[in-house]
Amino acid sequence: MLALVVIFGGSLLGLVLSTSSSPEVDTPDHATDLELPENNTPVPPVITDDSKSPPILPVGVNFKTLKLGRTETFYEAMRNSDVGHSDIMSVVKACKPYRNLSKVRKGDTFEIALDENEVLHQLRFDLDDQESYILFQREDPGSFTPFELTYPVVRNTVAVSGIVNISIFESLKDLGAPSALAAKMNDLLGWDIDFRLDVRKGDSFRIIYEEIKRDGEFVRTGPIIAAEFINRGKRYTGYRFECEENKTSYFNQDGESLEKQLMRAPLSYSRISSSFSYRRFHPVHKRYMPHLGIDYAAPVGTPVYAAGNGTIYAASRNKNNGKYVKIKHSNSSYETFYLHLSRFAKGIKKGRKVNQGQVIGYVGATGVATGPHLDYRVKKDGKFVNPRSLKLPAADPVDSEKLANYKAQIMLYCYCLANLEDVSEPHIVTIAPLQIISSTTQQPYIAFAGHLSSEEQPPQ
């Protein structure tokens, strides 16, 4: 096992190359001390909006699982569980922005909470992404309030390396790595490499990224942390860096931005669930229709960022788009649209000026949607265009005051990428974070198997 630690300026960046990890559970502070639930109690949620948590249920409430049988309706299943007509109609109405409960199928599962008088206090069901669910809780007589929640997940940092045979997509597939990495590599390096036309057999790649699991099962691919692609002998690199609080971007080894004045993907997404098309079979309407945007699947509550600087022209809601935001950008030729949000970020309203990377809302499934995702659309001179094929100037580089910190951070990434095994032997390894150690030294050090040494330095 190779352990690598870089200590610089009182902070530590640490990764371990190994075949196992000690992952952290991705839960907020208020959820980290929750005890494991009893068998008949729902898993503790991760609250996607800390200012709005579900109230504590009354004492004596019991949970029950409803699994719909063949030809059984939601109404019939609820009545068979002794839920009253008025409660059923109230929760159906509350659920309407998220799901039409008159259209259910055999095997659909719902959790309900009833008191001793058969009064309904809670309904919940999972969303399509395996990580999110909607909970409707009684707060006033005859009304139910929705709460959009996610299950606790585990984040592993893993790495993959390989050689291109046909395409990077096929190579990742052959490795057993997530195919979503191909689109994420295109997001990261696609301004410099045309992954459809420029890639050649024998090109190589090394990628460090996050893998998200729930109950030990793979759920989705997280963000790329660092990547290298060698195309016809030329090396391209990209590194993730928090350039401002709660704002991450990607830069090359010199700190130059790999993003443009409009983002291709204004969120950390799991996969592209639907591409830009003038003729797509709509999963809800069941007919071919234009889809003039990109659908990025992501867990409910995932932050959505302004794709560029501009002014909000709409922060509203309608039947099809659900909650949506429209931004007119500083380059007046461009407008961007963000559909199916669960909610708007604080202070987001018509007339508000926003900067690129500023949170404007959160992923949801409002409007006509089969699951949580962002439908991202771009207009140029009044016409919808494919966000993934735009040609735009580069965004700002790393701030000069943060450049030293950036260089120290990518020193670690460079070393980890370089120490992956020979790419002629494709593999996936787990990279586990080390416990943070405080230090006052200003000299960077490398630690192998826990022993500090100043004799060997990572590559510059």
pLDDT per residue as tens, the chain (460 positions): 333 333 333 333 334 443 333 333 343 332 222 232 333 344 444 444 444 678 888 888 999 999 999 889 999 999 999 999 999 999 999 888 788 888 888 999 999 999 988 899 999 998 877 788 889 999 877 789 998 888 899 888 888 888 998 888 888 888 888 888 998 998 888 888 878 778 899 999 999 999 899 888 888 899 999 999 999 999 999 999 988 777 788 999 999 998 888 888 899 888 888 888 876 666 655 667 788 899 999 888 899 999 989 999 999 999 888 999 999 997 778 999 999 999 999 899 999 999 888 999 999 988 888 788 999 999 999 999 998 888 887 788 999 999 999 999 888 888 888 887 655 544 566 655 433 222 233 333 333 222 222 333 333 3
Q: Which two tokens stand for residue 269?
A: 């997404």
Q: What is the pLDDT of residue 280?
A: 63
What are the C-alpha distances in Å from 427 to residues 19, 56, 161, 171, 412?
11, 47, 6, 11, 20
Residues 6 or more apart in contact with residue 52 via CB below 8 angstroms: 147
Bridge-partner residues for 4, per DSSP? 15
| Closest to 47 measured CA to CA, from 67, 18, 27 | 27
Q: What is the pLDDT of residue 111?
A: 94
Q: Which two tokens stand for residue 4?
A: 């690598």
Rounded to whole angstroms, how far apart are CA atoms 35 and 38?
9
Q: What is the pLDDT of residue 422?
A: 54
What the chain holds in terms of domains, given with CATH numbers, is 28-150 (3.10.450.350), 264-393 (2.70.70.10)
Rounded to whole angstroms, how far apart are CA atoms 66 and 452?
57
Q: In what order do the strands lie in the sheet with 46-47?
A: 46-47, 143-150, 132-140, 120-126, 109-114, 62-67
Q: What is the pLDDT of residue 110?
A: 94
Tell me how far the alpha carbon of residue 244 is from its chain's centroid: 19
CA torsion sign, 289 to 292 to 298 to 300?
negative
What are the C-alpha distances in Å from 301 to residues 177, 199, 269, 333?
26, 36, 11, 30
SS3 content of the chain, % helix, strand, coil (to 5): 15, 40, 45
Per-residue exposure over 391-410, b if at least 16 CB sit within 10 Å of its own CB, e if not:
eeeebebbeeeeeebbbbbb
Q: Which two tokens stand for residue 322?
A: 């659900």
Backbone angles phi, psi at 143, to 5 degrees: -135, 150
Rounded to whole angstroms, how far apart are CA atoms 292 and 286?
17
Rounded to whole angstroms, how far apart are CA atoms 14 and 208?
14
Q: What is the pLDDT of residue 287?
A: 66
| Closest to 268 measured CA to CA, from 194, 180, 384 | 180
CA torsion sign, 352 to 356 to 360 to 365?
positive
Counting every residue written for the chain, the total comes to 460
> Taking the CA of residue 20 as centre, how many other CA atoms within 13 Å lie in the half-sphere pointing to its CB?
1
Other beta carbons within 10 angstroms of residue 386's beta carbon come to 15
Q: What is the pLDDT of residue 242?
A: 87
Q: What is the pLDDT of residue 336?
A: 95
First to last CA, the chain: 23
- Per DSSP, helices labelled H in 24-179 are 74-80, 85-95, 168-175
